[in-house]
Structure 1
Amino acid sequence: MQSSPKVLPKQQMAKFGFNGWTLWALYITGLVMVPILTVATLALFPTENIWPHLLNTTLPRYFRTTVSLMVSVGLGAAVVGTVTAWLIARYRFVGAGWLEWALLMPLAIPAYVGAYALVDLLEYAGPVQTALRGMIGWETARDYWFPEIRSFPAACFVLTFALYPYVYLLARAAFRDQSSASDDVAKSLGRGAFARFWRIGLPLARPAIAAGAAIVMMETVNDFGTVDYFAVQTLTTGIFSVWLQSGNAGGAAQLACVILAVIIVLVSLEKSARRRMKFFNLSTWHRGVEKTQLTGRRGVIAFTLCALPVVIGFVIPTSVLGWHALNHLDEWTNPALIKALLNTLRVATIAALITVFAGVVMVYGVRLSRSETPKRLLPITSIGYAAPGAVLGVGILIPLAWFDNRLADGIWELTGYDIGLILTGTSAAIIYAYCVRFFAIAQGAADAAMGRVSPNLA
């Protein structure tokens, strides 16, 4: 009797489409999903369920403040980004060339730097109020009224001018891609510049503007430094309050799940807007709208409208930082500052290398693997970028701390040697958090680059 050939484990795996690329995809996806799954588990099975207490006390206030801040900043950024994008895309005026790129500069600095600069300028001992008291003769704060600096409106103001470039980028591209045909028809009907913007340009660019505003609102929900500095209580600050001050990780995870729900809604809106962002020309002939030259008063107004966001969002914060840096030159050689700089460069370099490597492996696996598994897992790995840093903090520190303590206790019992906390006690945890947070960017860049390579070359 002839025996059937023996099937090796590798052959069995290949039969179902499993290979090294599939295993790598599962491994990377698992690492990315650990924080999210940890938060969900802690929220569903907390050691002390304070959800009813949160519902009756702080959660409604946190939620209202978060939604109000999110909507206010989203609308403000949409207005600033749309107006500047329209002026840059449709008009020529003095300074338009460098303003086109300068309008992106607020993205180069964190929003909380703008918060520090605003308070430094406008607080009681700052140069603005000091100058007012000197010119008018006021002696104390009781002699005059001045807006409260650390407040909800101030947080909205700072975040608006820090995040508007997300809307500006997408809106500028949408305005530039519009055909001149509709604009020419409107001109022939006697429509003015504002009517052409309101009735033609804005409706065609609305999906792009909505997508940019959704990204702004996600970044607003994610912000901690600015809202904490301005004493604005949001869901993000609530996570740290419940976790660190009350010592309740389960309650913090439940608040994190509320943030995730808000983020999922915003991501869905952004995806929906992008699906509607496609417009097609029925004719093979396409010509962009020719820019109009603005001179005199109109040119000055256009320049001012485009320069103000750059001044508020970039020039003032960097000038305040530069002023303090020049006044404290001795601090440049402070060993603590040098150590912090070197640690920043080290952590950033390691996280970047790991993230890029994992992104390339994931994308390459999608192209080479015969299994559909890597392709289905690819969208899941982008969830880390949408998750706020506070959510990732809860989801990463808790499991890593548990692993660290168990490992240290086990080695102590076996050898009597205390190894300490090798993950949460070093930079490993923050590197892991950066990799999860920015994996979607590395994967997206690798996917775009790989898309230009013919599959036949693989």
Structure 2
Amino acid sequence: MPRWPAQVLLLSLAAVLVLPVFALAASWFGFDAAARDVLLQMAQTVLPDYTLTSLVLCVSVAIGVALVGVLTASAVTLFDFPGRRAFEWALLLPLAMPAYVVAYAYTDFLQFSGPLQNWMRTSFGLSGRLLPEVRSTSGAVWVFTFTLYPYVYLLARTALAERAAQLMEAARLLGAPLARRIRTVALPLARPAVAAGVALALMETLADFGVASYFGIQTFTAGVYKAWLVMDNRLAAAQLATLLLLTVAALLWVEQRAQRRMRFATLRGQRAGSAEAQPVRLHGARAALAVLVCALPVLFGFVLPVLFMLHPLIGGWDVLPWGQFQQWALNSVRLAGLAAALAVLIALALGFAARARPSGLTRGVSQLVSLGYAIPGAVIVVGLLLPVGWVQERWPDAGVGYWVTATALGIVWAYLVRFSAVALQSVQAGYARIPGSLDDSARMLGTTGTALAARVHWPLLKRATAAAALLVFVDVMKELPATLVLRPFNSDTLAVVTYNLARDERLGEAALPALALVLVGLIPVILLSRTLRQR
């Protein structure tokens, strides 16, 4: 294949996948008096609330996930106690829980008219509100902390497992007590991992729409949707989306810098030696404390929300909309399967291009595509609808708005913008395990181009490709913000139905699609836990 068609194809693919960012940047070129007035009006009214609420939420969630993640990672890595092996994988279970599903579960059980407060009033003769309001900023902090801490736990656990046990053993031989070994040896080793995990958790927090909307919290994401769908102001939505994107970009820079520091520390540690060192055995009260530290996050982030959803599900089993549920599930599977297949094809094409002809172009396109996962769904929606609005204004008969909002084109496009990065990372990891000598041998035997990819690479990439498709499939199934706006007519998904039913206070009916999303989310968690055990 000639080189220039491949370059044009790569550039076109990159342009399609980063269109939301280009559209938001282009919206500022038309900054005029009207745009200035809108920005000033927001600065005087809603912008301070959005900024303050988002800041308080991010700071609180950062402290929460760092504390829970570091404590649990330290417990299962540095110490040995009853149940430690089970907690190693159980602490990953909250990854299967979408934050908005946990929010609905806690609200249904703990609200004023929920089962717990009704039982307390009946049993103890009390009246009025007996528990704090769940739908609040503090409630959102609770939900995000116990659903997002696995980011910190997973990265910190990996960092500590690399070298902490060996260095702590060396410090023990030098006479350092346990508390000092943890404070001066283990925690500094985990600092880059904690920073990367906290940055990932904050990106998820800022990108969330379901929890913020349901709890009535004035965050930037909720403000973007309100500006576009309620106030019908594209300019205000674009400005808020730009501010949100800049904040996420700063967090992404922090995460990538921390990841580089983690790799540097790991390589240095590997050269230093790999002597085995056993975790410290705990007994009595210390062992009980370690069990409690590991059990509470699993309880609050997975067990209790599942039980809260099972309660109304079992009670209303006979009136559940099973027929509609099948249609919702079919719509979700259809969209997720289509997006996963296209994302894998894009990832394979980019991976092969980077392998066959490494250049600045292929590296640049891969980096641009990799940024998509950090873009919040609200930003993607605004970035896709802005150019659609511009085209509709100039060529009203073109029908672009119909194809983007009334068919699967728009929503699949949004999925690819956000989740192609997931498939690309998995495919690149698979390519990294294929020795370059195989390519050289194949070329010497006359196999080049697509034949090389089909006959040499593909058999060795099957597992990585399957993992990529699975991860994209699960992420699409749980995606709410983009799906809520861009889904085709009469094609509600499980995520959208869960949100709509919960918003209408039909939490008992919302339990069925919510639990289905949890079951789907368990698949990659199980695979991840198996991978960690094998390592």
Q: Normalising by structure 2, what TM-score?
A: 0.76
Residue in structure 1 matched with residue 354 of structure 2 by the alignment: 366
Preserved CA contact (<8 Å) 2:165 2:279: no
| Of 36-45 and 298-307, the range deviating more from structure 2 | 36-45
Shift of 1:401: 5.7
Shift of 1:66: 0.8
SS in 1 for 2:103: helix
Preserved CA contact (<8 Å) 1:103 1:306: yes
CA distance in 1, matches of 2:300, 2:128: 28
Residue in structure 1 matched with residue 406 of structure 2 by the alignment: 425
Select which of 69, 75, 100 maps to 1:87: 75
Map residues 283-322 of structure 1 onto 2, 5 A cutoff.
284-322=272-310
Select which of 235, 250, 257 maps to 1:272: 257
Q: Does structure 1 residue 191 correspond to structure 2 residue 176?
A: yes
Shift of 1:42: 2.1
Larger Rg: 1
Q: Does structure 1 residue 455 correspond to structure 2 residue 436?
A: yes
Q: Does structure 1 residue 334 correspond to structure 2 residue 315?
A: no
Q: Which runs of 5+ in 2 are unaligned?
A: 440-535
Preserved CA contact (<8 Å) 2:347 2:427: yes
From the superposition, tell whether residues 46 and 288 of structure 1 become closer, same or farther in structure 2 (CA, over 3 Å): farther
From the superposition, tell whether residues 238 and 405 of structure 1 become closer, same or farther in structure 2 (CA, over 3 Å): same
SS in 1 for 2:403: coil
Shift of 1:352: 0.2
CA distance in 2, matches of 1:74, 1:435: 29
Preserved CA contact (<8 Å) 2:103 2:143: yes
Q: Which runs of 5+ in 1 are unaligned?
A: 1-9, 412-418
CA deviations on 1:64-110 (whole Å, 9 max, x unpaired) are 21122112101100110110001111222222112111111111120
Residue in structure 1 matched with residue 382 of structure 2 by the alignment: 394
Partner amino acid, structure 2, of 1:87:
A
Shift of 1:253: 0.5
From the superposition, tell whether residues 337 and 331 of structure 1 become closer, same or farther in structure 2 (CA, over 3 Å): farther
| Of 276-285 and 239-248, the range deviating more from structure 2 | 276-285
CA deviations on 1:170-223 (whole Å, 9 max, x unpaired) are 000111111545313432454332222111100111011111011111111111
CA distance in 2, matches of 1:401, 1:325: 42
CA distance in 2, matches of 1:420, 1:334: 33
Map residues 56-135 of structure 1 onto 2, 5 A cutoff.
56-135=44-123
CA distance in 2, matches of 1:188, 1:222: 47
Residue in structure 2 matched with residue 414 of structure 1 by the alignment: none
SS in 2 for 1:19: helix
Select which of 194, 213, 231 maps to 1:209: 194
CA distance in 1, matches of 2:359, 2:315: 61
Preserved CA contact (<8 Å) 1:408 1:421: no
From the superposition, tell whether residues 303 and 331 of structure 1 become closer, same or farther in structure 2 (CA, over 3 Å): same
Map residues 24-43 of structure 1 onto 2, 5 A cutoff.
24-43=9-28
Residue in structure 2 matched with residue 445 of structure 1 by the alignment: 426
Give the % identical residues: 36
From the superposition, tell whether residues 442 and 153 of structure 1 become closer, same or farther in structure 2 (CA, over 3 Å): same
Preserved CA contact (<8 Å) 1:21 1:369: no
Partner amino acid, structure 1, of 2:82:
V
Select which of 140, 148, 171 maps to 1:163: 148
CA distance in 2, matches of 1:27, 1:291: 52
Q: Does structure 1 residue 253 correspond to structure 2 residue 234?
A: no
Aligned residues: 433
From the superposition, tell whether residues 169 and 340 of structure 1 become closer, same or farther in structure 2 (CA, over 3 Å): same
CA distance in 2, matches of 1:304, 1:347: 41
Partner amino acid, structure 2, of 1:441:
V
Shift of 1:161: 0.3
Map residues 396-411 of structure 1 onto 2, 5 A cutoff.
396-400=384-388, 409-410=397-398
CA distance in 2, matches of 1:25, 1:236: 31
CA RMSD of aligned residues (A): 2.3
Preserved CA contact (<8 Å) 2:70 2:156: yes
Partner amino acid, structure 1, of 2:429:
A
Map residues 4-19 of structure 1 onto 2, 5 A cutoff.
18-19=3-4
CA distance in 2, matches of 1:189, 1:243: 63
CA distance in 2, matches of 1:299, 1:371: 54
Residue in structure 2 matched with residue 51 of structure 1 by the alignment: 39
Partner amino acid, structure 1, of 2:411:
I
SS in 1 for 2:406: coil
Partner amino acid, structure 2, of 1:312:
F
Q: Normalising by structure 1, what TM-score?
A: 0.89
Preserved CA contact (<8 Å) 1:178 1:289: no
From the superposition, tell whether residues 206 and 103 of structure 1 become closer, same or farther in structure 2 (CA, over 3 Å): same
SS in 2 for 1:178: helix
Shift of 1:420: 8.8
CA distance in 2, matches of 1:90, 1:106: 22
CA distance in 1, matches of 2:221, 2:427: 31
